[in-house]
Structure 1
Amino acid sequence: MRFRQVHPILSRLTTGTAALALVATSALAGVTALASPAVAAADPKAGEACTSADLGKRYPFTKSVKVEPTITHFKGYFVTAGSTGSQAVKLSTQTQVTVAVGTSTTIKTNFDFGVLFKAEASINRTVQKTTATTSAAEQTITWNFTQPGYYGLYQGTRKVTGEYGSLNCDRVQRDDGTYATQWTERPGGQYTTFSTIEEGAIRCEDQVPASSIMKKAQEILGCDGTAAKKQDKKAPAPRAARKHQKASVNSELGTSAAPPGFTCLPGTYRIGTPDRKLYWTTFGAGDYFRLRPGPRLPEGATWSVCEGPQSNGRTEYALVNGYKGRCATMTDHSDTEGAMFRMDPCRTADDYQRFYIYRDVPGSDLVGLQLKANGHMVGQERVVDDTAMRQYSAGNTDGTGTYVLQKI
């Protein structure tokens, strides 16, 4: 006698603890707040012209995307002729999927949100765009079994992975020897996210789409395409979520003119707003540096620009302040949007003290500055006296991330 095919969606009764196999830690309000500059409809493309006001901006784009059906929880379950009906079944953890952009699993910046937004748009399917991971806990679902047979009960999602890059405005030399500013492609990294959680029951006899979560569940069930297995199978042991760690900071140098491997350019510089009315200034060794009016400025308003090795196709720079030779630093090693820079002893190796400089055309001293550690751009909340310098993942749309690097 041929069994009628079971349709999992129709036969589902209720869901127990499996109502949401998702742990999310970001509020909806945070998502709304992140949706502005990184996902603008008119994002630039590599090779397009930019202006000096764009030197402090950064835009994400996706270079590749892959969608992979993934089973997060599973249980092989044999139903005999006398045991049909509604049954609660515990599913063991198969794997976990964690949202990540580069090395960060905490999604709270415009840039990270922009990467995931663009991945979502490219596959035309809703994905997680906040800090989230699928559950590691055992899940229970209640299912109405109308026929005997060997079933695979599952929860799963579509894991979305790929590579992203970023665009920064920078000076380029054209074929005729002249210079211009245009959007240039910069290195990015890998991203991971996932779509909505699905659950169901599947048998080997069921005909399902080749690239579906149901098909993935059949593979784990051990289906060979002709008959169902008649033995229970244990789900693989849980795998720990991938942990992302930043490189540790090496020894401090104390008071120093420049870190080892860096050579300071001749003379000293002032860094300020393009109108040359406000300049980066600090009044203490560990103080935040902030905008203060010129032209008469204290020693803490002078900077040495020290050139170091190449990384990611660009030269690294350390910005050493004239007051006790301290380096501009993101001291708490934070990726937080709007975190403030301050002065700290120059270190042998610390990517939170290293910057990339994006320049305007020759004859102009306008620049944009990018922190090597996380790609965030230097900026401030508003152009006003005593405003501290901060980091912004995508820069500021109003052009306040453009500065003058003025040799004294």
Structure 2
Amino acid sequence: MTVTATAAAWAVTAVGLAASPAAAAPAATATPRLGDTCTVADLGTRLPYIKTTEVSPTITHFKGWYVTQGSTGSQSVTTTTQTSISVTVGLNGSVTGTFGNQVLGTVAATLGLNVQVNYTSTSSESSTVNWNFNQPGYYGVYKGTKKVTGTYGSLNCNRTQQGDGSWALKWIDGPGTGSFTTYTTLEEGAVRCEDAVPANSIMAKAKFLLDCGSPAARAEHPAGAVAPTEKQTQDRLAQQSAATVGAPSAGRPEAAGSGALAAAALNCTPGAYRIDVPGRPLNWSAPLLANDGIRLRESTFFSAHLDNWRLCNVTENNGVLEATLWNWGNGGCATIPANIANQEQAYLTTANCSEDDLQRFYVYRDVPGSSKVGLQNKYTGSMVGYDRYADGELIRQYSGGRQDGTGTFTMTGV
């Protein structure tokens, strides 16, 4: 692969390659907000914050049921599925790793609701409701919940310039956004057209489904199940359709703007860097074998440039660098394999360079004068780190980063 260096070198201050230590920053608050201070250890982490929310009462199971004067008392009613709700976070729809759980935990704290914070779904099968019917009449027997949807953003630690020209580490609005779906505790019950119910409640939604003005609601029926009204059928179809809109497809969705341009020409800065563990001798080293991953290794005379990286197609937006990491030793670009990109702790490797967001990384930097950085994959949104400090340890992605500081690296010019 041919690599073309740009005439304008990537400025030393862009990653702060001087050896002087960073200025001390105050500890971040327990629940950081945009603009709060962060620390060097936070460069390799990210936290969610909730941008928008919507809470809507949703009926998951329903059955019209008629009780005659002689059939009051306790009965078991088999309801049919009205809609099914699955807990999802982000692109692939699953709730894996720390970040997905943090998103849902933040939703719960923001709204003050007891929502599901792990992957689960409401039943798509018929479900039985046991209810004591004290009066005759036309009932809607139901199971339901409050469906909670919305969008979230990412808080990332990065250097920001103050009004007086000094620099500080702050929590910023990181690139990208995502959506979530969850729901509250399920409830069940029965409601009649004559019943007064709280507005915007699950019971009110069930009463709406009764279609009280319809002939079916006003007619006399034998005791037991009543055929669905037109409104009930239409609402069921609408809810089921809404549940499938935007549902993730199997496998990896395509990254925006990606392309299979193997060996595409890259516009790289002249300098090369080692991505080191701060204060330790081990650093990122590209694999010699095609099926291996990027590992922590010590630089030696025999490293053959496998531990040297160039930054290519560099852009900057709101102080955050975005770059492709090209390895001098094997000519490949750092990437997360597409077949495991949706997995927590998926390892990094190198592959033929292409215009693919799996090969693009955001670089979060300490204040000028420090070489400390955190790295985030553009496609998955996960931060880069490692499980333990050991020779041969794989470099991996972590959805929320590494809270123990093992996602903070230094970039050292070679």
TM range (shorter): 0.7 to 0.9
Indicate conservation of the 8 Å contact 1:292/1:385, yes or no. Answer: yes
Q: Is it true that 1:76 corresponds to 2:64 in the alignment?
A: yes
Indicate conservation of the 8 Å contact 1:58/1:394, yes or no. Answer: yes
Partner of 1:194: 183
Deviations 1:238-260 (A, max 9, x none): 51643224533765444x3xx45
Question: C-alpha distance in 2, partners of 1:346/1:216?
Answer: 53
After the TM superposition, which residues 2-401 of structure 1 pair with which residues of structure 2 at under 5 Å, given as runs?
A: 42-186=30-174, 187-223=176-212, 229-230=218-219, 232-234=227-229, 235-236=232-233, 237=236, 239=240, 241-242=243-244, 243-245=247-249, 246-248=252-254, 252-254=260-262, 256=263, 259=264, 262-275=266-279, 277-286=281-290, 287-294=292-299, 296=301, 297-308=303-314, 314-331=320-337, 332-348=339-355, 350-401=356-407
Change in CA separation of 1:48 and 1:311 when aligned onto 2, cut-off 3 Å: closer
Deviation of the 1:91 alpha carbon? 1.7
TM-score, length basis structure 1 = 0.81
- Structure 2 letter corresponding to 1:167: L
How many residues align? The count is 363
Indicate conservation of the 8 Å contact 2:286/2:330, yes or no. Answer: no
- Structure 1 letter corresponding to 2:186: I
Question: C-alpha distance in 2, partners of 1:265/1:173?
Answer: 24
Question: C-alpha distance in 2, partners of 1:190/1:229?
Answer: 42
Question: C-alpha distance in 2, partners of 1:229/1:356?
Answer: 63
Question: C-alpha distance in 2, partners of 1:334/1:357?
Answer: 19
- Structure 2 letter corresponding to 1:72: T
Of residues 231-240 and 174-183 in structure 1, the stretch that sits farther from structure 2 once superposed is 231-240
Name the structure, 1 or 2, with higher relative contact order (CA <8 Å, separation 6+). Answer: 2
Moved over 4 A (4+): 308-315
Indicate conservation of the 8 Å contact 1:54/1:402, yes or no. Answer: yes
Partner of 2:12: none
Indicate conservation of the 8 Å contact 1:333/1:352, yes or no. Answer: no
Deviation of the 1:308 alpha carbon? 4.8
Change in CA separation of 1:310 and 1:218 when aligned onto 2, cut-off 3 Å: farther
Indicate conservation of the 8 Å contact 2:81/2:124, yes or no. Answer: yes
- Unmatched tracts of structure 2, length 5 or more: 1-27, 220-225
Indicate conservation of the 8 Å contact 1:203/1:228, yes or no. Answer: no
Deviation of the 1:298 alpha carbon? 2.4
- Structure 1 letter corresponding to 2:144: G
Question: C-alpha distance in 1, partners of 2:96/2:400?
Answer: 12
State the percentage of identical aligned residues.
45
Change in CA separation of 1:151 and 1:310 when aligned onto 2, cut-off 3 Å: farther
- Structure 1 letter corresponding to 2:349: R
Indicate conservation of the 8 Å contact 1:55/1:402, yes or no. Answer: yes
Of residues 136-145 and 158-167 in structure 1, the stretch that sits farther from structure 2 once superposed is 136-145
Deviations 1:139-192 (A, max 9, x none): 233433332211101110111122222211101111122222211122432211
SS state at 1:300 partner: coil
Deviation of the 1:312 alpha carbon? 9.6
Indicate conservation of the 8 Å contact 1:78/1:232, yes or no. Answer: no
Deviation of the 1:309 alpha carbon? 5.8
Deviations 1:128-147 (A, max 9, x none): 11111111222233433332
Indicate conservation of the 8 Å contact 1:285/1:344, yes or no. Answer: no
Indicate conservation of the 8 Å contact 2:341/2:380, yes or no. Answer: no
Change in CA separation of 1:312 and 1:99 when aligned onto 2, cut-off 3 Å: farther
Partner of 2:15: none
Of residues 273-282 and 239-248 in structure 1, the stretch that sits farther from structure 2 once superposed is 239-248
Question: C-alpha distance in 2, partners of 1:163/1:251?
Answer: 27
Indicate conservation of the 8 Å contact 1:128/1:193, yes or no. Answer: yes
Deviation of the 1:366 alpha carbon? 1.5
TM-score, length basis structure 2 = 0.80
Deviations 1:178-230 (A, max 9, x none): 222211122432211001111111001111111211111001112369x9533
SS state at 2:376 partner: strand
Deviation of the 1:283 alpha carbon? 3.6
Deviation of the 1:345 alpha carbon? 1.8
- Unmatched tracts of structure 1, length 5 or more: 1-39
Question: C-alpha distance in 2, partners of 1:267/1:351?
Answer: 23
Question: C-alpha distance in 2, partners of 1:281/1:406?
Answer: 14
Deviation of the 1:276 alpha carbon? 5.2
SS state at 2:179 partner: strand
Question: C-alpha distance in 2, partners of 1:325/1:282?
Answer: 10
Partner of 1:5: none
Deviations 1:76-129 (A, max 9, x none): 222233443444333222112111112233212111101111111223232111
SS state at 1:299 partner: coil
Indicate conservation of the 8 Å contact 1:105/1:131, yes or no. Answer: no
Change in CA separation of 1:263 and 1:229 when aligned onto 2, cut-off 3 Å: farther
